[in-house]
Amino acid sequence: MHSTNYIIRFVLVMTAIVAVILSLMSTGLKPIHDKNEAVYNKTAILSAIASHLGKDLKTLSDEEIGAIFSEKVTQKVLNMDGKVIDEATMMEMGYKDGLAESVDMGKEMKKPEEDRVLPLFIYESDKGNEFYILNVRGKGLWDEIWGCVALEDDMNTIAGVAFDHKAETPGLGAEIKDSQAFKEQFVGKKIYRPDGEYKSIYVRKGGAKDPVHEVDGISGATITADGVTEMMQRGIAYYEPYFDKINK
């Protein structure tokens, strides 16, 4: 039988040793973790325009993704009025390096609508075409869903999309991320009607009726699909003021 004194000493020493080991490891690996996270986010953004990269995104190394991002992608941060916020102002507002990639849409969505900032990535392909990659975020069935939408330089035609989710059902709602066929449907769809009215994209249960603004839903995933519709409607509309400004 050990004395109470011994037990207290044992527990204290154990706690101290564990704390030192874990904090050393955590701080030591922090730079690698940050780098991995940045590459992961960059890959997610580039996957919206995967077909225009000229290379297979999956085969690119971390360095190559970083290189594409620094050479061909222009990052801008917009406020809700469509004005570009410069890096210095962003840093004053508390964003790490003032770049669009440091904007966490999850945190932005929790702010009041007028205080949000929007990241915008402009990718210039080898052929000289510009693609505007927008970030959108909404709610699925179980939890948040989000995605990147790439528009061609007419700011109307969709060049590609990439979706992700926190907890949608595998095989049903999760197909918005996993199914290549679902994402390919968005390519070539328009967000404006010919008369200039904002329409966005509608994910229709039972099959698309309008070939320009609608895509087929996923059977068994109606609520997730409705979430995608809502996210596209609202998320793309946030960028409208900016598009209006540069189109004038």
The binding track of 7-26 with respect to another protein, each residue x by CB under 8 A or -, is: x--xx--xx--x--xx--xx
One residue of 29, 84, 93, 237 binding another protein per CB under 8 A: 29
Nearer to another protein, 216 or 240 (CB): 216
One residue of 86, 93, 171, 184 binding another protein per CB under 8 A: 171
Give every CB contact of residue 163 below 8 A, 6+ residues apart in sequence.
Answer: 145, 146, 147, 176, 177, 183, 228
Give every CB contact of residue 199 below 8 A, 6+ residues apart in sequence.
Answer: 190, 191, 192, 193, 213
Q: Which stretch binds another protein (CB under 8 A): 28-36, 142-150, 188-196, 227-235?
A: 28-36
Distance of closest approach, residue 61 Cβ to another protein, in angstroms:
13
One residue of 16, 33, 143, 246 binding another protein per CB under 8 A: 33
The binding track of 124-163 with respect to another protein, each residue x by CB under 8 A or -, is: ----------------------------------------
Does position 61 bind another protein by CB under 8 A? no
**Number of other CB atoms surrounding residue 198 within 10 Å:** 12
Euclidean distance between CA atoms 142 and 180, whole angstroms: 22
Q: Which positions from 172 through 211 interact with another protein, judged by CB under 8 A?
A: 172
As a dihedral over the C-alpha atoms of residue 30, residue 36, residue 37, residue 38, rounded to 10 degrees, the angle is 110
Give the strand pairing for 202-204 and 214-216.
parallel
Distance of closest approach, residue 40 Cβ to another protein, in angstroms:
5
Distance of closest approach, residue 30 Cβ to another protein, in angstroms:
9
Alpha carbons within 13 angstroms on the beta-carbon side of residue 43 total: 16
62-72 vs 4-46: helix crossing angle, rounded to 10: 50
Euclidean distance between CA atoms 104 and 13, whole angstroms: 39
**Number of other CB atoms surrounding residue 174 within 10 Å:** 20
Nearer to another protein, 25 or 246 (CB): 25
The binding track of 63-102 with respect to another protein, each residue x by CB under 8 A or -, is: ----------------------------------------
Residues in a beta bridge with 79 = 117
Nearer to another protein, 77 or 145 (CB): 145
**Interface residues toward another protein, by CB under 8 A:** 1-2, 6-7, 10-11, 14-15, 18, 21-22, 25-26, 29, 32-33, 36-37, 39-40, 169-172, 220
